[in-house]
Amino acid sequence: MSERPVSIPGEPKVDLEQARAHGLAPDEYRKIEQTIGRTPTYTELGVFSVMWSEHCSYKSSRRHLRKLPSKSELVVQGPGENAGAIDVGDGWAAVFKIESHNHPSFVEPYQGAATGVGGILRDIFTMGARPVASMNSLKFGSFEHPRTRYLLGGVVGGIGGYGNCVGVPTVAGEVMFDAAYNANILVNAFCLGLVRKGEMMSAKARGPGNPVLYVGSATGRDGIHGASMASAEFDKESEAKRPAVQVGDPFTEKLLIEACLEAGKTGAIVAIQDMGAAGLTSSSSEMASHGGLGIELDLDKVPLREAGLTPYEILLSESQERMLIVAERGREAELQAVFEKWDLHAVVIGHVTEDQRWRTRWRGQVVADIPIGALADDAPIYDRPAAAPKIQPQTKPAIAAKHPETAKAIRALLDSPNIASKKWVYRQYDSIVQSNTVLGPGSDGAVLRIKNSRRAIALKVDSNPRACALDPYLGAVGTVCEAARNVACAGARPVGITNCLNYGNPERPEVMWQFIRGVEGLRDASIAFGAPVVSGNVSFYNETEGHPIPPTPTIAVLGVMIDVAKHVTQFFKNPGDVIALVRTAAPSIAASEYAAIFGIDGGRLGAIDLAREAALVEGLVEGAEQGLIKSAHDIAEGGLAVALAEACFNPRAILGAEVELGRAGNADAVVFFGEGASTVVLSIAKRDAARVESLFAGRGLEFAVIGRVTAEPRLKIGAAAGLDEDVAELQRIYEDAIPRRLRGGD
Amino acid sequence: MKWGVVRFPGSLDDGDSLYAIAEVMGQDARMLWHKDESLGGVECVLLPGGFSYGDYLRTGAIARFSPIMKSVAKFAADGGLVIGICNGFQILCEAHLLPGALTRNRSLSFICQRVWLRVENASTPFTRAAKQGDLLRLPIKHGEGLYVAPEDEIRQMEERGQVILRYVDADGRESDAANPNGSMRAIAGVANQRFNVFGLMPHPEHAVEPMLGGVDGLKIFQSIAGSAR
C-alpha cells in the first residue's frame, strides 16, 4: 500500500556516519533501520534525529518522571497534553507549565529568551486557555564575569520585548548570579492561562479524513535543529550555532492568541498543537500518535518565507508563531474566516489517516513514511546508570572563625545581587496588563484576581541550586517547600506544581544520580502538600566543556485563595504590631548566601520534616483566611536579618522593627543570617497574637514573639551586641546594588 | 455617555479600557474594529495602549492609516471627544490630531512603574473632575514615551493650556528624577487646541480599583463622562 519514499537529488548519503553527525547513537541508527525495514531517506533521518533527541523524546528522564504524583481531585489535566490544568473554582481551570530555553538564550540572549516566552505561551493557549500571567527563573554567571551583563541585558530585554508586546503580564520571577552558570545560563519561562472548565482544547487528533490546517507565520529556515542543539553540551563551537536560534514575532503571536481562542469558540477544532521544538514534524506526529491515528501532509501547501526550502528544512524548521489544527471535516471555512479576520495564514496541508503512519509528500512524491509509533512512544528509553559522586560535599559543621561583624554582614548581604532588589529587571516588564495583578513583582509571590469571582491565584517560582549541589534530594524537597510556603504566606493554599528540571549531561552517572534524587525529592514534597505535578520539562546537557551546572530543579507552585480580599503581603503594616517567628526547624548557614559571600563552610543541610512543612503551610493559610495575619515573609537568602529588613521596606512608607532574640544568642551569625529551615516572619495585631500562636502551636510548630513594628525606621536586633541600622540606608543599599554594578561603579 | 474602544491588531489594553469604563464605571461602552469605518454613534472614542500592528516601523505609524482612523479624524474634526492612552497617544501624534511626537525613553528601556502626575489644566473635558494642581497616581508602561515638540510649539501649547499632565514627584514638584522617560518639560499628556482630543502616556484604565493600585484613573473617565454633549 505504501510508496517507497524517495531521496531528493543532491541530498547527502545516509549512513552511520551521517546519523552520528545528526546526534544519533549507532544503536539508535540501527533501531531506525529495523523499525522501517530499510535505510531512511535523508529527510527521515532528520526527522528521527529531532524526535529521538533528548529534548523531544525525554529518553533519559521518562522512566523517572513516572514517579511524580499527578493526580488529585482538583486535577483537570495531568501530564500528556501541552500543559497541566487544575480546578481553581467558580468554573475555572488554571492551565500552567514551565519550560526551559537555556541553550538558545546562551547563544543569542534576546531572541533565545523572547522565543522561550513565545513557546510557553503557545503551550497554554493551545489548551484553549487565555494566557493571563508569566513568570521566569533566570540564572546567570557571577556579576563580575565579562559576559554576564550582556546576557542579563539580552535576556531581560527579550522577555520584556516579547511579553510586553503580547499583553500578558510578567508578574513574578527570580534572578540568581553564581559563577557556576558562567558558561551555561538558565532561562526558564512559566505561563498561566485560564479557561472555563469544559472548554479546554486537546492535542489528540480524531476522525480519519479530517483536514489538517497550518496557521500562523510562514516557514523559514530559522531554528533548524534547535531541539538537537538543546540536547548536546556546549563547546567552543556553540557560538556558531546562533543560526539555530529562532527569531520571535510577538505581534503575530498576539494575533494567534486571539485567533486561536476565537476559533476555539466555533467548535470546529478537533485538535490543536503548537509547532514548537522540531516544528511541523513533532506537532503532526504527536497529534496523530495521541489519537492512535496517522497523518499525511503535503509539503507543497506549507506557506514558505522563501522559495527553495527542502522537505528536510520544512519539516525541521522551528520558525515561531505557527500552529497545527485538526478541523472537523467540512468546517474548514469557518476556521479560515476567523484566521483571515486576524490576517493570518490558515491553509489545509493534509489530513488525518487511519493507518497510523506519518507520511509526507513533496512535489507529488512521498519523501517520508514512518510508523507513527516510531516517532513517539517507541522512541528509545534509557535507564542510564546513576551513581553518587565519590567525593561527597563537605560535611563539617560551620566554622565560627571568620564571621564578619553583624552590621557589615547585613550591608554586604543587601548589596548582593542575589538578595538586592530586582527592580532594574522587573521594571522592564509590563506586570499590570489585563487588570488582574493584585500583587506583582517585588513581593514574595504574585497574586492575581479572577474577574467576577472572589477567588484569586497565587504564584511563585523557586530554585535553590546551592542546596541541591550539597544534597540533590533535600535541595529539591526544600525548593518545593519554599515555593509552597511563599504561596501560603500570601494566603493561598498550594494545589499544583510545575517543574523545569535543569541538569548536566545525563550520560554521566553522577548527573543521572542528581537527577533521580531531585525527582524523588520533588515527588515526596509534592505528596506532602497534596499538590500534584501536572506539567513540566527536563533540560539536560547544561554543561560547557565538561563542567555541569549544579542540579537546578526550578519549581513553580500555584495556590488558590478563596477570598482575594484576604491576601497578605510581606510588608509590616502598623507600628505596635507584634513580630513573631514560626518555624519548622532551627536555621543553618549551609548553602546560604552568607556562606557564599564570606566563604564560610556552611556544613550540610538539615533534615526536612515534611509533615511540619505542610502544617506550617496550613497554619499560614488558615491565619490569612481568618484575617489574623498582617504580614508574612518567608526567610530565604540572607536569613532573618534580611527578611526583617525587607519587611520594613513597605512601599507606602518604610517602618522599623525592634527584635529580641532571647536565648537564641544575639550575635550568632546562624540566627541572624541562617537559612535552610522553613521560617516565616509574621506581623500580627497585638490582640490577635494569642490566636495566631495557638494556630501554630496547635500544629506542633515553634512560635515565638520576637519584637514589634516601630514607626521609627530603624532595624534593631538584639539588645547590645546586635544590630541597629537606619532602614532608609539599608533600603538604599538594597535598591542600588544592581544599578550600581550596571553603571560600572566598583 | 456612549464610548467606543478601538481594537487594532496588537492592541493590549483594549480589554482593560473596556472593563474600566463598562464594568467599573457602568457606562455604555463597546469595542470598535480597526477594519471598520463606522464609529457606531459613540460620543467618545478611546484609542488604547498596546503595539498596534506590532509597531515595527514607528509607534503608531501604521495604525494611523487603518480604515477606522479616517473616521476618528473626521469625528475629531467635528468636535467629538477622543482620548488616546499610551499607544493611542502615539497614534494620535502620528495622525497629527495632536502636536509633538513620542520617542524612545531616555533609559532606552521599557519602563513599568507608578508615577505621580500633576493636573496642569482642569478646565478640559478630560480633567474637569479634578482641580488644577491635583496629583494623580497612575502607572506608566512604555518604551517610547519621551515627548518631544519644537520649543516654540511647546511654549505656545503651555500658553494655551494644552499641556494637561506633567510628571512630578510625590510632593508635586518637577524634577529630573521624577521624569521617568525624559519627556520635554516633563510632559505626560497634551490636548489639541480645541481641547477635544487628549493623549497621555500614563494608563488611567489601570487605576480604577483600590485593590489594583488605586482609583486616580477614574478622575479622567469621570471627567469625560460628565462632558457628554
| A191 SS3 class | strand
Q: Hey, are the CB atoms on B9 and A343 less than 8 Å from each other?
A: yes
Q: Hey, are the CB atoms on A428 and B205 less than 8 Å from each other?
A: no
Domains of chain B, residue spans: 2-225
Gap between the Cα atoms of A587 and A702, Å rounded: 12
Gap between the Cα atoms of A439 and A651, Å rounded: 12
CA dihedral A560, A562, A566, A571 (to 10 degrees): 0
Instruction: Please give the positions of A annotated as active site.
Output: 55, 101
Asked whether the beta carbons of A60 and A382 are under 8 A apart, the reply is yes
The predicted structure's pLDDT at residue A236: 61
Name the helix (H) or strand (E) containing A559. Answer: strand A552-561
Grouped pLDDT means (10 residues each) for chain B, 229 residues: 96 98 97 95 97 86 91 97 98 97 96 98 97 98 98 98 98 97 98 98 98 96 89
User: Closest Cα of chain B to A171: distance in Å?
Assistant: 12
Superfamily designation of domain B2-225: Class I glutamine amidotransferase (GATase) domain (3.40.50.880)
C-alpha cell at A454: 472572589
Gap between the Cα atoms of A334 and A354, Å rounded: 25
What phi and psi, each to the nearest 5 degrees, are found at residue A378? -90, 5
Asked whether the beta carbons of B211 and B95 are under 8 A apart, the reply is no
Gap between the Cα atoms of A121 and A115, Å rounded: 10
Give the type of residue at A60. S
Gap between the Cα atoms of B39 and B15, Å rounded: 17
> Cα–Cα–Cα angle for A203, A209, A212, nearest 5°?
45
Taking one residue from A and the other from B, the number of pairs with CB-CB distance under 8 angstroms is 83
User: Closest Cα of chain B to A323: distance in Å?
Assistant: 19
What phi and psi, each to the nearest 5 degrees, are found at residue A50? -80, -40
pTM, entire model: 0.95
C-alpha cell at B91: 497614534
The DSSP symbol for A243 reads G
The beta-carbon neighbor of A435 closest among B56, B113, B206 is B206
Give the type of residue at A570. Q
Gap between the Cα atoms of A323 and B7, Å rounded: 24
Cα distances (angstroms) measured from residue A276 to each of A120, A255, A300, A319, A324? 9, 17, 21, 8, 10
Is B204 near chain A, with CB under 8 Å? Answer: no
Q: Hey, are the CB atoms on A432 and B12 less than 8 Å from each other?
A: no
Gap between the Cα atoms of A495 and A507, Å rounded: 34
Gap between the Cα atoms of A301 and A279, Å rounded: 16
DSSP strand pairing (A84-89 vs A92-100): antiparallel
Q: Hey, are the CB atoms on B10 and A254 less than 8 Å from each other?
A: yes
Q: Hey, are the CB atoms on B212 and A437 less than 8 Å from each other?
A: yes
Q: Hey, are the CB atoms on A251 and B56 less than 8 Å from each other?
A: yes
Alpha carbon A587 to its chain centroid, in Å, reads 28
Gap between the Cα atoms of A87 and A493, Å rounded: 13
The beta-carbon neighbor of B50 closest among A167, A426, A428 is A167
For chain B, percent helix, then strand, then coil, each to nearest 5? 30, 30, 45
What phi and psi, each to the nearest 5 degrees, are found at residue A293? -125, -175
Maximum distance among all Cα pairs of chain A, rounded to whole angstroms: 89
Among chain A residues, the shortest Cα distance to B109 is held by A428
User: Closest Cα of chain A to B50: distance in Å?
Assistant: 7
Write the burial class of residue B91 (CB in 10 Å: 0-12 exposed, 13-18 middle, 19+ buried). buried
CA dihedral B111, B115, B121, B127 (to 10 degrees): 90
* Interval B125-171: pLDDT, tens: 999 999 999 999 999 999 999 999 999 999 999 999 999 999 999 99
Residues linked to residue B139 through DSSP beta bridges, in sequence order: B114
**Residue given cell 545516509 in the structure block:** A14
pLDDT < 50 stretches in chain A: 1, 395-398, 665-666, 746
Which residues of A lie closer than 8 Å to B, measured between beta carbons? 157, 160-161, 164-167, 249-252, 254-255, 342-343, 426-438, 449, 451, 564-565
The predicted structure's pLDDT at residue B53: 87
The predicted structure's pLDDT at residue B10: 96
Cα distances (angstroms) measured from residue A618 to each of A446, A448, A582, A694? 19, 20, 12, 13
The DSSP symbol for A238 reads G
The beta-carbon neighbor of B113 closest among A160, A427, A434 is A427
- Provide DSSP, B4-28: EEEE-TTB-SHHHHHIIIIIIS--E
Is B53 near chain A, with CB under 8 Å? Answer: yes
Which residues in chain A are closer than 8 Å to B86, comparing Cβ atoms? Answer: none
The DSSP symbol for A569 reads B
Maximum distance among all Cα pairs of chain B, rounded to whole angstroms: 45
The beta-carbon neighbor of A255 closest among B9, B112, B205 is B9
Write the burial class of residue A373 (CB in 10 Å: 0-12 exposed, 13-18 middle, 19+ buried). middle
Which ipTM value was assigned to this complex? 0.97
The predicted structure's pLDDT at residue A398: 47
The predicted structure's pLDDT at residue A238: 62
How many CB atoms neighbour CB A471 within 10 A? Answer: 21
Cα distances (angstroms) measured from residue A352 to each of A174, A205, A301, A369, A381? 43, 7, 16, 14, 27
The DSSP symbol for B216 reads T
How many Å from the N-terminal Cα to the C-terminal Cα in chain A? 73
Closest to A301 measured CA to CA, from A348, A357, A369: A348
DSSP strand pairing (A723-726 vs B2-7): unpaired
**Residue given cell 526547624 in the structure block:** A585
User: Closest Cα of chain B to A431: distance in Å?
Assistant: 7
Asked whether the beta carbons of A713 and A654 are under 8 A apart, the reply is yes
* Interval A87-138: pLDDT, tens: 999 999 999 999 999 999 999 999 999 999 999 999 999 999 999 999 999 9
Q: Which of B12, B55, B108, B138 to mutate to test the interface with A (most CBs of A within 10 A)?
A: B12
| A72 SS3 class | coil
The predicted structure's pLDDT at residue A221: 86
Classify the C-alpha dihedral A259-A261-A263-A265 as positive or negative: negative
The DSSP symbol for A129 reads P
Cα distances (angstroms) measured from residue A207 to each of A109, A280, A326, A590? 42, 20, 9, 57
Ordered strands of the A714-717 beta sheet: A631-634, A679-684, A578-583, A702-710, A656-659, A714-717, A723-726
**Residue given cell 556558531 in the structure block:** A240
DSSP strand pairing (A130-140 vs A170-177): parallel
Q: Which of A249, A344, A435, A652 to mutate to test the interface with B (most CBs of B within 10 A)?
A: A435
Gap between the Cα atoms of B43 and A482, Å rounded: 52
Which residues in chain A are closer than 8 Å to B111, comparing Cβ atoms? Answer: 427-428
Asked whether the beta carbons of A171 and A440 are under 8 A apart, the reply is yes
C-alpha cell at A136: 521566569
Residue numbers of B between 67 and 126 with CB closer than 8 Å to A: 109-113
Which residues in chain B are closer than 8 Å to A436, comparing Cβ atoms? Answer: 212
> Cα–Cα–Cα angle for A123, A125, A129, nearest 5°?
125
Is B144 near chain A, with CB under 8 Å? Answer: no
CA dihedral B148, B150, B152, B155 (to 10 degrees): 0
Gap between the Cα atoms of A740 and A590, Å rounded: 29
Asked whether the beta carbons of A657 and A723 are under 8 A apart, the reply is no
The predicted structure's pLDDT at residue A718: 80
DSSP strand pairing (B197-200 vs B81-85): parallel
C-alpha cell at A493: 493554599
